[in-house]
Copies of this chain bind each other. A is one copy, B any other.
Amino acid sequence: MTAARTVDVAALVAQAREGRPRAVARLISLVEGASPLLREVMAALAPHTGHAYVVGITGAPGVGKSTSTSALVTAYRRAGRRVGVLAVDPSSPFSGGALLGDRIRMGEHASDPGVYIRSMATRGHLGGLAWAAPQAVRVLDAAGCDVILVETVGVGQSEVEIAAQADTTVVLLAPGMGDGVQAAKAGILEVGDVFVVNKADRDGADATVRELNHMLGLGEARAPGDWRPTVVRAVAARGEGVDDVVAALDKHRGWLDEHGELAARRHRRAAREVETIAVTALRERIADLRGDRRLTALADRILAGTLDPYAAADELVTGVVAGEG
């Protein structure tokens, strides 16, 4: 605690803004854990955020998420953009910026000062990566990244949630994996803005594209102004179709701007995040009362039959909200 207190947050943020990778890494470590400096860091970052375009990338294991992310990094770097990569793996017990497993494949970018790559696997302060990720995104944003790719390594509800917190969400599929149905099950069809059928040189790519078009209802009429999900074919391992993916992202970004949707999405995201942090804070205040004499006294009265649990909870809430907690 004392050691942590000696961290000069303002200096770290200044160094991160100058592009010093160790400062960026340090700040992410501070926000992804339950660091006592979390609030100070978030406050210091606030004025420097909102610049980056955040792209979520999700899909089942084996579709080539890591390879595709790496190919996108190459494309954006060629265009002179600073890129941040956040690889989020809720199922992994490891974290801390290590190049885990298939992150090795991104080794080609490891020495590029215009690219930050970070793996996240810790649960974070709010008890879930879904809420640790946006905080790490803010660090990369403040560090001057133009584009931040948030890649979820696994597949599941929380991965979908993380990917859906982006400005644009990319859903990856590959032929011959029964992916359409799997994707529909995981609820990722709903969150996708751009769909990439990767490994499109394999048998079954046409069928996957057809199935996808069908499931997305791309043949159906849409309200004017509604975004029509884009389906792109790619072979990320050979860099094929990557420019098409970038073009689809640019188009979606343009649509977001044009329709005021970028601000609207970010606004909804911010509101949800505040809500989650507030609920967590109140929950912690109540948990702090475990063993407290007030909670003990309330339980005594319930056992005596002179109070019911709901009335007891009302009394507890009144105590907490009065700041007695």
A305 touches B49 (CB 8 A): yes
**A232 sits at the interface (CB 8 A):** no
| Assembly CA distance A275 to B288 (angstroms) | 10
Residues in A123-173 with C-beta less than 8 Å from chain B: 134-135
| Assembly CA distance A299 to B274 (angstroms) | 8
| Assembly CA distance A43 to B313 (angstroms) | 12
A270 touches B302 (CB 8 A): yes
Interchain CB contact (< 8 A) of A303 among B266, B277, B296, B306: B266
Shortest beta-carbon distance, A149 to chain B, in Å?
Answer: 21
Number of copies: 2
Residues in A291-325 with C-beta less than 8 Å from chain B: 295-296, 298-300, 302-303, 305-314, 316-317, 320-323
Interface centre among A135, A305, A323 (most CB of B within 10 A): A305
Residues in A269-284 with C-beta less than 8 Å from chain B: 270-271, 273-275, 277-279, 281-283
Q: Which residue of B lies closest to A283 (CB)?
A: B279
A267 touches B300 (CB 8 A): yes
Residues of B near A48 (CB, < 8 A) are 305
Q: How many residues of chain A get a CB closer than 8 Å to chain B's CBs?
A: 54
**A289 sits at the interface (CB 8 A):** yes
A317 touches B43 (CB 8 A): no
Shortest beta-carbon distance, A310 to chain B, in Å?
Answer: 5
Residues of B near A311 (CB, < 8 A) are 39, 42-43
A295 with B275, Cβ < 8 A, contacts A50-B305, A302-B270, A321-B321 known: yes
| Assembly CA distance A202 to B269 (angstroms) | 57
A271 touches B283 (CB 8 A): no
| Assembly CA distance A203 to B50 (angstroms) | 67
A42 with B275, Cβ < 8 A, contacts A267-B303, A299-B270 known: no
B298 touches A271 (CB 8 A): yes
B308 touches A45 (CB 8 A): yes
Q: List 22 A-B contacts (CB under 8 A).
A: A38-B310, A39-B311, A42-B310, A43-B308, A47-B305, A47-B306, A135-B309, A271-B298, A271-B299, A273-B309, A274-B299, A274-B313, A275-B287, A275-B316, A278-B286, A278-B316, A279-B283, A281-B314, A281-B317, A282-B320, A283-B283, A321-B323
5 nearest CB pairs, A to B: A321-B321, A277-B313, A42-B308, A270-B299, A46-B308
Beyond A38-B310, A46-B305, A46-B306, list 9 extra A-B contacts (CB 8 Å).
A39-B310, A42-B310, A49-B305, A267-B300, A270-B309, A274-B312, A277-B313, A278-B286, A281-B313
